[in-house]
Every structure is written in structure tokens, then in C-alpha cells.
Copies of this chain bind each other. A is one copy, B any other.
Amino acid sequence: MTRITGFETYDVRFPTSRTLAGSDAMNAAPDYSAAYVIIRTDAPDPALAGHGFAFTIGRGNDVQLAAIRLLEPFLSGRDLDEVLADLGGLGRRMVSDSPLHWLGPASGVMHMATGAVLNACWDLAARRAGRPLWLLLAEMSPEEICGLVDFRYLTDALTPDDALALLERGAAGRAERVETLRRDGYPAYSTGPGWLGYSDEQLARLCAEAMAEGFTQVKIKVGAVLADDIRRCGIAREVIGDEAGLAVDANQVWDVPTAIGWVRELRPFRLAWIEEPTAPFDVLGNAAIRRGVHPVPVASGEHVANPVMFKQLLQARGLDIMQIDACRVAGVNENVANLLLAAKFGVPVCPHAGGVGLCEIVQHLSMFDYAAVSGTADGRRIEWIDHLHEHFTAPAVTSQGRYRAPAAPGASTEIRPESLAEFSYPGGPAWRS
């Protein structure tokens, strides 16, 4: 029998604020960081461990890590196979644990901690199975997948029977789609060109590079100064041409009336979407904006804390594109619920990525969605930012504007030991200078 022996945790921070990569209308100078957990076992093979993390942008990463450590008693000392056989139950126990629930509920630091730990468990499960996570999930039966979901507050929009029916539909043609993924990968779009701190020249050059690399959509940050946004959208549109997609991202800066007025000014650039026009938890505000900026699609989700919020955004028609984040919600489990909700409402999922390791892990969810849930990649793309991948043992890779399907066992969440050491905060060499 293999036992879980405990957590090993790391406060890892990358000094990204020293450049302006990552700058947007809300986040002027983030240091991309990971509150990182390794779930250790007593297996003879030390590689049989689970790697997970919460992504933060610097200050507070230590508090995030302390929240992760609170969850160690749920796993320490337990039989590994028993845990892995019921990750749905583990997720429900952690999310509904009464003192921890009080610290959310289902949002913020405590919820992200649950996500980090559950994702680490999934990494471990996929390693144990010798499969990349997307394939492990895709090969589960509809009943097993349903068992991962906490339906407690979802049943007015998605019942277990609904989910089962969707998954049974999704099972048809699955093997063929797995082969397609292995051959062709999954569509991506590039956010690299559009950080708010970049000059017009950088913007134009990076848009051209993205097109040359095979991307068919770019995204730029907006929301600080309208005249700048109009000029920058014009530059981007001119460089990428009429055929490519141009998405814009306001990172929550506007109230509802401002969002409507501002986005109407950008409509001539034929936007692929306006992302996070206002507070991500303002369901009704998003719905009002969506009506007000028609036909510009509204996208949101990287700060949506849980499936109940996504449920409402869908019920209220507050978004056209669901942008799941791998680490904001309670891990793979809640993202399975999110994918099922999106499928039920017929809304495409274009995950949030970038940060530290978000590309690495979220690609598995989109590929699982393609293989076994929605069954399509139409209108779907995963965000791509070519940043910090070198710190991962199995980095995400794009070529010709598409993510390659990961082949290595696990969830692609493992940070290289050298990087953990170098960027440990505050003691690592990167921070001592």
C-alpha cells in the first residue's frame, strides 16, 4: 500500500514587475507567483508525487501558501489509491468543510488553496495512471466524470441526469477526437503583444510576430485611456489584417455605464470579444453590458470563483465566452462542472492562461472538453503567453498557433527543482540581489 506522507510547500515568485510584461489596467506591476505544493507519498519512486499551485501576482503568496497547508490533514497519512479512487468526494469534503467554508464561502484564498491541492491530486492520479491528465479524464466513464461534480447549488440549471446525458453524447467519437488532438493539437490565441505597458512599436512588432508564428487571434489590454485604446486597436487591426481575431481585455476597470460607452467606441475594430468589462462577480452588470455592446461578445471567467457564479452568468446571458481558469476555482473538479455548464448552455470555453503554469494545466481541460464533453473546438481557443514556461519540467508548447497535446504523464504542473530554488521568496538567489 502507498501512503500520502504530507505536503511540501514553496513560496515561488518571479520578478516579472522588473519588465512590464503582465501589466494591464488593474495590475500595474505584478510579480507572477505560485503558492506551490507537492503531495509526497512513500512510494519507492520519488516521482510519484502530485504537483499543484495557486497563481498569485506577488504580495500575499505566503498567505495563499498557509491556506494550502491548512488542507494537509485531508490527505496526510491516507491510502493513496483510496484517495485517488474518490477525488469527487475529496473535493466535496474540502469545499464543504464548515470552518473552511466560513473563510470563503467558495471564493478567495481558501478556495484557491482547495484548487491547488485538488490539482496536485489530479497530477498524482495522472502520473499513477501513466497518462497525461487530459487523456485520463477523457477515458473516464460518464458516470465517473459526473461523480466529480458537486451539484449542490447547480441543479436549477444542471442536474446529474443532464450531465450524464451530455457526457454520453460526448463519448461518441471520443477515440477519433483523441487522435485528432494528438495529431493537430488545439487552437491557441496570443496575448503576448498587448500588455498595457508596451509601446506602440512593441505592439506592432509583436502582433506581426504572432501572425508570423501562425496565430489567428491576438488580445490586447484596454481600459486606461480611450484615445490610447482606439489608437492601439487600430495599430493591431492594421498589422493583423481583416481576417484575424482581435480581442480586448479591460481587466475589470469599468462600471456598467462606462463599459457600454467605451466598448461602443471600439466596435469599429470588429472585436472578437471584450473581456472582463466590469467586476467578474457582477452577473447582472455583465448581462447589461452584453446587451449594451451588442454585437461585441462578452468574455469573462478568470476571476469567477466557482461554478455557481458561472451558472448565473449563463442563466442571465451575461457572457458569450466562458474563460475558465485552472487555479481560481476548486481545481479540476469544479472545472469539470464549468465545462458541463458551458456545454448545457452552448457557450464556448476559451480558457484564461498565462501567469505561471496556467497554460500548462489548463490545456488539459480544453483537450478533455474537446475529446469528451463539447466534442468540438469551434469558436474555442486557449490563451497563450510565451512566458515562464522554461521553469516547468513538461512545458506547454505551441506551434503554428496551436497547443501540442501533452504526452507526459501528469498535469504538466511540475516546476523544475532548480527554479523552485532560484525563485523561492524571499531567500532564493533571484530575490537576494
- A interface with B by C-beta (< 8 Å): 26-31, 56-60, 62-64, 66-67, 70, 96-112, 151-156, 252, 255-257, 278-285, 288, 303, 305-306, 308-309, 311-312, 315-316
Contact = CB atoms under 8 A, between A and B. Distances in A.
A109 B63 contact: yes
Contact of A56 (B97, B102, B111, B152): B102
Contact of A154 (B104, B105, B255, B315): B255
7 contacts: A31-B99, A56-B103, A60-B100, A103-B109, A107-B281, A155-B255, A283-B312
A57 B315 contact: no
A62 B66 CA distance: 9
A60 B70 contact: yes
Contacts of A27: 98, 102
A156 B288 contact: yes
Nearest to A109: B109
Nearest to A102: B57
Contacts of A67: 60, 63, 109
B99 A59 contact: yes
A107 B309 CA distance: 13
Q: State the number of copies, please.
A: 2
B153 A279 contact: yes
B103 A155 contact: no
B308 A279 contact: yes
Contacts of A62: 66
A218 B301 CA distance: 41
Contact of A108 (B66, B108, B282, B285): B108
Would you list the 9 A-B pairs with minimal beta carbon distance, nearest first?
A108-B108, A59-B99, A156-B256, A109-B109, A107-B107, A153-B279, A27-B98, A58-B99, A155-B255
Contacts of A98: 26-30, 57
Nearest to A97: B59
Given A56-B102, A108-B108, 16 more contacts: A26-B101, A29-B98, A31-B99, A56-B99, A60-B70, A104-B108, A107-B107, A153-B255, A153-B279, A155-B255, A156-B256, A156-B285, A281-B281, A281-B305, A281-B306, A283-B283
Contacts of A66: 62-63, 66
For A57, A108, A283, A309, the residue with the greatest tally of chain B CB atoms inside 10 Å of its CB is A108
A216 to B, nearest CB: 30
Given A104-B108, A109-B108, A156 B99 contact: no
B64 A316 contact: no
B303 A281 contact: no
Contact of A312 (B104, B107, B282): B282
Nearest to A55: B102
A282 B154 CA distance: 10
A154 to B, nearest CB: 7
Nearest to A60: B103
B105 A303 contact: yes
A152 to B, nearest CB: 6
Contacts of A70: 59-60, 63
A27 B110 CA distance: 17
